Amino acid sequence: MVEPVARNARVRGRTWWLRIAAILAFLSLTAQLWRLQIVEGRAFQQEAAANHLRIGVVPPPRGLIYDRRGRVLAENAPVFSVAIVPADLPAGREREVYGRLAGLLGTDAGAVGAAVAALGYESDPFTPRRVRSNLDRETVLRLEEHHLELPGVVVNVESTRSYPEGPIFAHILGYTLAISEQLLGREEYQRRLSQERYTISDKVGASGLERLYERDLRGWPGRRLTQVDVTGRTVRELSEEPPRPGNHLVLTIDRDLQREVAALLQEEMGDAPGAVAVVMNPNDGEVLALVSLPSFDNNLFASGISAEELGALLADPGAPLFDRAVGGLYPPGSLFKLVTALAALQEGVASPATRILCKGYLDVTSDYDPTTTMRLKDQAAHGEQDLVQAIANSCDVFFYLLGGGDADFTGLGAERLVRYARLLGYGEPTGIDAGGEEAGLVPTREWKLQAKQDEWLSGDTYALAAGRGDLLATPLQVANVTNAIANGGTLYRPRLVREVLDSDGNLLEQRPAAVLRQVPIDAAHWALVREGMAAALDTPALRSLLPEGVRVAGRWSTVERPIASGDEDKGRTQAWFTGFAPVDNPQVSVTVFLERGDGLRDAAPLALRILARSLSALEAP
Amino acid sequence: MRVTTEVARWRQLDWLMLLLAAVLVIYGLLLIYSATYEPIPGEALNLSSFVVRQAVYAAMGFALCGALSLVSEDLLRLAAVAGYLGALAALVAVLVIGHGDDTYGARRWIDLGFLPFQPSEPAKLALILFLSLVLEHDRPQLPLWRLGVSLLATLVPAALIFRQPDLGTSLVLLAIWGGMVVLAGVPLRVLALIGLAGLAALPALWFGLLDYQRSRLLIYLRPESDPFGEGYNILQARLSIGSGGFLGKGLLQGDQTQLHFLRVQHADFIFSVLAEELGFVGAIALFILLLLLILRVLRAADRARNEFGRLVAGGVASMLLFASVVNLGANLTILPVTGIPLPFISHGGSALITNLAALGVLQAVLSQPSRYRF
């Protein structure tokens, strides 16, 4: 038997094994702790910060839009929206979250996933992807209640546009849409995201003033450094650079007049597929009312238009999204005779003393065969006409001769006609601050060669002079020519925005009248044309409609629809009226266009009613 | 006469060991407070239910510790057998009627009303006492039959716990056995053989693991492979610890902790909270406290009046050392995550009460009257 002492000494010593094991173990732990905290500590500190710090953009409130008297036309309304921050979704369990969110929203998980995917992942995963806007209060409360089960889901208060006037101002104001590459083009889209602090969940002005004045209305977003918890919810705000709110716009439009004009036009356009009315101040280019019918409700876009609604708008044969006032191209017909008259007077082709006998037709020599003649017809045999009478009666023969001449009379010729047409603003955009403006078309020798592969014939010159040619103009261009006639030769750029105010309502920028050019025509010639237009309205059919005590000048026209526009409207006519008042001191000009109708019977009476309303609107305090 | 004996026993108690335990428990309460802190406006001190519950468990644990300090060795030996059998019964019961968290389908708890009771924790102490009986001998070398019986006595509860499943705690039982066998004087050749046998058994053990246990072990090798799944907490723990730096971010100031990027941060990952908020300094303080306590327990082994007491202390030291190192190693991402709580620190009543009771048993060992000396 071994004595216990020896055994004790050896075996008892084994507690040291455990001591040494314990010390070694804690030394290894200390080494690893040192490595993590001291050696690699800085890197981990940065990584931890990235874990919970987010730089967010603070959207600025969008500027409001007022009419010329300070009445609100576009404002902001708060809406709740729910969005998903892809970075905060638990990887591999996205569908679980989609499913739960879909359950609370009453849709299916696929729809949620699609909404997230639709916005793309190309941008940073910390930007929220909007899943749905316009949440009702109950849904918001439910989402907040379940937020712990919904990592990556955030509820935001957003601002949406609200347009109290709806369709009446839809074309002017336009609307905003979610920013996208399709909307802006790839380059512009990337530029705004990278340089202008747009985020992929932002909305941008997509049409009308909302688009043109995006820079003013938007303001400049601030930035906010926030701390978020593991579900992506903001826990506290660490620093904020406040946003600069958008500027407000004050329009030249008078809301009440715009309403009245829209109502009148709607009432009187009858079965016309489209109609336009333009009311302007001829002395500075301010647009007082600008109506294009049919219209649409731009509030639909603000609250997130559905695919069906958008499809219906796009498929509507009346093309309600199309702003005919600035984008519609129509032959102005007899209204162009005013240009011919002015050109002839200025070029000395005609004078107040010029008298031409109208037999109801004009025989002109054929370009192809000098031995044969072509007969150009007129509506009636007007007898002997001077310029004022010719304008009043819209005598074709008179203007055929002024334009094309004949053996006994030297006309202007195509070049000079075209030059004056251009000087008066045909064939170029007026430069109004509205979207989708068209330049129109002034036919020339070169244009005809290119477009029709055909020579310019003398017949083309006659047709142009009398307003029967290929010339196309927008209602706004026609209105602007009338303004120049009314004010004696100054061509203004039409304006929709009068003032830009900062968010506190202080005047930032007064938009002064912008003169496009002084048309080089003597004052007397303008006056003579004004007399012709005044005389035009002095007919039994219209006399009763003229406002009392005010001399009105105007010219209507009835134009056969271009052959290309389809069989349905074959033989039907488009109607124009353009005019101003008072003749001696013009305050307001009115231009009306009806896509179907008669100049004298339809357009003129309607325009005169609008004119009367406009004059009284101007007098209102 | 009896009174003087009692007074003498009070003097024998290791007050430093108890003080270390008390400091660790208070340290733990502070960390649980921070880990479960939810700011409520207007209230200066928001004690979460976790802190309150843990404080109650600590009070119960210290009370039990005090009561056990003065029991006689006879009673301990009796308790060793009764406790071991009771533990086996409870471990079987937990598999039958127990419940647990549904995530992994584990059944670890029996609901005792006032606390959800986890029988595998006191089973560790019961095993230590029982193994001390089995391994106690006066031969120069540990007789092989004792070795065999002790292994069997360990494997049965370890297997039951493994079935719950709770890999970590069953490993703790094996570690306890290993430590105690070493102290009991197992010959070095046999020890080497056991080591080889253990290595040989590893593949079998591997295939005995559940999928989640296997993936946890694997993920430890490459946590980046599943940053939002199994690897998530490992990465977040490393980030928490690493970002703490030398002095830490301050109590309640750890953004990883306070923003809940860490999971189970009041339990298995409480060390990450400590390292983030109190930094290297705070973590080293914990290491020192734990190491001192373990050394103090080993000191009790040396001072025990007989082999039984020595083995009890050795078993407790093995248990505390293994649990501490495996938990801290997992937090520091040098060991796989096995779900072992950090002794005295992690939130959890069964473990805290068991550990304090173990210290109580050690006090009893230290304070036995001299008739048991040899």
Q: Is A47 helix (H, G, I), strand (E, B) or coil?
A: helix
Please list every residue in chain B whose beta carbon sits closer than 8 Å to the beta carbon of residue A15: 183, 298, 301-302, 310, 314
Chain A closest CA to B224's CA: distance in Å?
13
Q: CB distance from B325 to chain A under 8 Å? A: yes
Which one-letter amino acid corresponds to residue A405? G
Task: Give yes or no for B318 touching A (CB within 8 A).
Answer: yes
User: Quick check: B208 pLDDT over 70?
Assistant: yes
| Model pLDDT, residue B374 | 40
- From chain B, the residues in CB contact with A12 under 8 A are 302, 310
Distances (CA, A) of B234 to A294, B166, B259, B327, B329: 64, 19, 16, 12, 11
In Å, how far is A233's CA from the nearest CA of chain B?
Answer: 10
Which of A420-434, A505-519, B210-224, B266-280 shows the lowest per-residue confidence on average (mean pLDDT)? B210-224
Is any Cβ of chain B less than 8 angstroms from the Cβ of A306?
A: no
Phi-psi region of A568 (alpha: psi -120 to 50; beta: other; left: phi over 0): alpha
Residue numbers in B near A52 (CB within 8 A): 255-256, 259, 261
- What pLDDT does B22 receive? 97
Question: Do A18 and B183 form a contact (C-beta atoms < 8 A)?
Answer: yes
Which residue in chain A is spatially nearest to B249 when comparing CA positions?
A: A45
> A151: buried, middle or exposed (CB in 10 Å: 19+, 13-18, 0-12)?
buried
Asked if A7 and B321 come within 8 Å (Cβ–Cβ), the reply is: no
- Partner-chain residue, chosen from A7, A33, A231, that has the shortest CB–CB distance to B283: A33
Nearest to A400 by CA among A383, A423, A425, A375: A375
Please give the single-letter amino acid code of residue A155: V
pLDDT for the residue A554? 93
Q: Which residues of A touch B242 (CB under 8 A)?
A: 36-37, 40-41, 43-45, 47-48
- Answer whether B157's CB lies under 8 Å from B92's CB: no
CB pairs under 8 A between A and B: 142
Tell me the mean pLDDT in the region B327-339: 88
Residue A32: what pLDDT?
Answer: 94
Give the pLDDT score at B191: 86
Is the pLDDT score of B110 beyond 80?
A: no
Q: CB within 8 A of B357, min separation 6: which ones?
A: B61, B64, B65, B68, B122, B125
Residue B373: the pLDDT is 43
The string of DSSP letters for B219-272 reads HHH-GGGSTTTTTHHHHHHHHHHHHHTTT-S-TT--HHHHTT-SSSTTTTTHHH
Residue B370: closest CA among B18, B11, B38: B11
Q: What is the mean pLDDT of each run of 10 residues along chain A (621 residues)?
A: 50 88 96 92 80 77 92 89 81 80 82 72 65 81 82 83 92 90 86 83 88 92 78 71 91 94 90 92 94 91 78 87 92 92 90 86 79 82 87 89 83 90 92 87 89 86 86 94 93 94 89 90 92 89 84 90 57 89 92 91 92 86 65
Give me the pLDDT at residue B6, please: 59
What average pLDDT does the segment B110-122 reach? 76
Is any Cβ of chain B less than 8 angstroms from the Cβ of A22? yes
Which pLDDT belongs to residue A515? 92
Give me B243's structure tokens.
């970002």
Q: Please count the residues of chain B.
A: 374
Q: Is the pLDDT of residue B228 over 60?
A: no
CB contact under 8 A, A29 and B332: yes
Residues within 8 A of B (CB atoms), A 27-46 only: 28-30, 32-34, 36-38, 40-41, 43-45
> Is B246 an interface residue toward A (CB < 8 Å)?
yes
Q: What is the pLDDT of residue B103?
A: 42
* DSSP code for A296: -
Report d(CA A580, CA A521) in Å as an integer. 19
Average of pLDDT values for B57-80? 93
pLDDT at A500: 94
Residue A410 has a pLDDT of: 84
Q: Which of residues 87-146 of A touch B (CB under 8 A)?
A: 90-93
Does the ipTM exceed 0.90? yes
Measured between its terminal Cα atoms, the distance across chain A in Å is 127
Cβ–Cβ of A28/B238 closer than 8 Å?
Answer: no
Of B242, B261, B325, the CB nearest to A29: B325
Q: Output the pLDDT for position B317.
A: 97
* Separation of CA B13 from chain center: 22
Selected for mutation to probe chain A from B239, B256, B278 (highest A CB count within 10 Å) is B239
CB contact under 8 A, B243 and A12: no
Contacts of A233 in chain B (CB under 8 A): none
- Is residue A425 within 8 A of residue A491, CB to CB? The reply is yes
In this predicted structure, what is the pLDDT of residue B229? Answer: 58
Among residues 233-252 of chain A, which lie with CB inside 8 Å of chain B?
235
Asked if the model's pLDDT at residue B303 lies above 80, the reply is yes
Which of A2, A30, A44 is facing B239, going by the closest CB pair?
A44
B145 vs B134: CA distance, rounded Å: 10
Please provide the average confidence, as pLDDT, over all residues in chain B: 85
For B238, which of A14, A36, A90 is closest by C-beta distance? A36
- Residue B228 forms contact with A (CB below 8 Å): yes
Question: Which DSSP string do the residues of A574-600 spell out, in sequence order?
Answer: EEEEEEEE-SSS--EEEEEEESSS-II
Q: Does A17 touch chain B (CB under 8 A)?
A: yes
Higher-pLDDT residue of B319, A116: B319
Q: Chain B: give the shortest CA distance to residue A145, in Å.
A: 17
Report DSSP state, residue A188: H
Asked if the C-beta of B25 comes within 8 angstroms of chain A's C-beta atoms, the answer is: no
Give yes or no for B243 touching A (CB within 8 A).
Answer: yes
- What lies within 8 Å, CB to CB, of B89 at 6+ separation is none
